Amino acid sequence: MDAASALTTGLFTILVGVMAVLTVRTILKSLGRSGPALAAAIVAAYLVIPAILARAGALDRYDQMPAPGLALILVLAIATAVLALSRFGARVAASIGIAALVGYQAFRLVVEWLLHRLYAEGVVPVQMTWSGRNFDVVSGITALLLGVWLLRTKQRPRGLLLAWNVLGLALLANIVAVAVLSAPVPFRGFTEGPPNLLPSTFPFIWLPTFLVQLALFGHLALFRALLRADQGDRIAA
């Protein structure tokens, strides 16, 4: 695997920094006094600890299962689901609203552009990009368009939002599966091109440990928001 260029690495780091700031601000806005402690815990779990482990080379083993990098991602995905389905997830969804829950997923458009750059630089295989088997760019584009429309109108068509959310979650699951099958694990499914070493490479470990988790949290939180709105309408009826 070739090394990523300084420009791509820098752009990726900036994206992570921007999303981290937005995440912390959202937590502080949603939780009030208890926000700082949870924000610090989330930054540590999703950003600091993965970075330390990657820099120390503790995640480099893929030949035997469970591969530590993939195990870390699985643990964080479970934690993300728990957070999204907890009272915390409900408060975040209520605080920022449905339009923001949809619109912020537009960051995936930037992620896909950076993945394409990494492919061009020989860092990741083609199947992890829009030139291969990764169609998550659709999530980013539609999130931007739908989010802007939701901000400009009071309409909240549940059918459309539910369909979009299911599609986005499916596309996220697709690229996660492709990424895992592209890693140099014993069950590797895609053997052409460089292996996917992002789960053990700093700073790109933040793609699966942070950015993917943000996308997952957003989809689950939107499901909750739609269910809550539906229940509210039934009670009012």
Nearest to 71 by CA among 79, 115, 118, 133: 79
Q: How far is CA 157 from CA 10, 129, 164, 171, in A?
A: 39, 31, 11, 21
Cα–Cα distance, 14 to 37 (Å, whole number): 24
Burial class (CB in 10 A: 0-12, 13-18, 19+), 97: middle
Q: For residue 182, give its domain range.
A: 6-16+65-236
Report how many domains make up the chain.
Answer: 1
Whether 198 is in a domain gets the answer yes
Whether 27 is in a domain gets the answer no
Residue type at 170 in one-letter notation: A
Whether 173 is in a domain gets the answer yes
Span 123-132, mean pLDDT? 96
Whether 31 is in a domain gets the answer no
Q: How confident is the model at residue 180 (pLDDT cuts 50, 70, 90)?
A: very high
With both helix axes pointing from N to C terminus, report the angle between 87-103 and 68-84 in degrees, rounded to the nearest 10.
100
- Token code pair at residue 234: 């039934």
pLDDT of 137-155, one tens digit each? 999 999 999 999 999 988 8
Would you say residue 230 has pLDDT above 60?
A: no
Q: Calculate the dihedral angle through the C-alpha atoms of 124, 218, 109, 185, rounding to the nearest 10 degrees.
A: 10
Span 182-203, mean pLDDT? 94
Whether 80 is in a domain gets the answer yes
Would you say residue 192 has pLDDT above 80?
A: yes
Whether 154 is in a domain gets the answer yes
Would you say residue 43 has pLDDT above 90?
A: yes
pLDDT at 94: 86
How many other C-beta atoms can be found within 10 angstroms of the C-beta atom of residue 173? 13
What average pLDDT does the chain have? 92
pLDDT at 237: 26
Whether 106 is in a domain gets the answer yes
For the chain, percent of residues with pLDDT exceeding 70: 96
Would you say residue 190 has pLDDT above 80?
A: yes
Would you say residue 35 has pLDDT above 90?
A: no
Span 5-25, mean pLDDT? 96
In sequence order, what DSSP letters do the residues of 152-203 get, joined into one string? H-S---HHHHHHHHHHHHHHHHHHHHHHHHHSSSTT----SSS---GGGSTT
- Token code pair at residue 47: 């950003």
Quick check: 143 and 108 in contact, CB under 8 A? yes
Whether 33 is in a domain gets the answer no
